[in-house]
Amino acid sequence: MDNTRDFYSLDLGSIPSEPAILKGDDKVFSLTEDQLERLRRWMKAREEWPCGTIGDRYTYSFTPTGLGTIIIVTDHTTKEEINLTDFDSW
């Protein structure tokens, strides 16, 4: 199954249902099954909070480093962040 999706058309404001590879112009970022499950639980716990327009609630930040990729998701409604970085793979 090909889970590759165009980054600009992926609905990142909803709880992901399967692993996704996010493609930008030059980079490809992915979430492992473990990271995706952690993200689902975190987002589910925040569903009761009202939010603004569709797509403006979450920011996905992928920061490539020499050791690995730092992955942080920010909820702009609650001002909370979750760090999904897989430090064990570094």
Task: State the pLDDT at residue 25.
Answer: 60
* pLDDT tens-place values along the chain, 90 residues long: 444 444 444 444 555 555 555 555 666 778 888 999 999 899 888 877 766 666 678 888 988 888 888 999 998 888 999 999 999 888
Residue type, 59: T
Round to whole Å and give the CA distance between 50 and 81.
Answer: 17
Task: State the pLDDT at residue 5.
Answer: 42
**Is 0.85 surpassed by the pTM of this model?**
no
3-state secondary structure at position 75:
strand
Alpha-helix runs per DSSP H in 1-90: 33-44
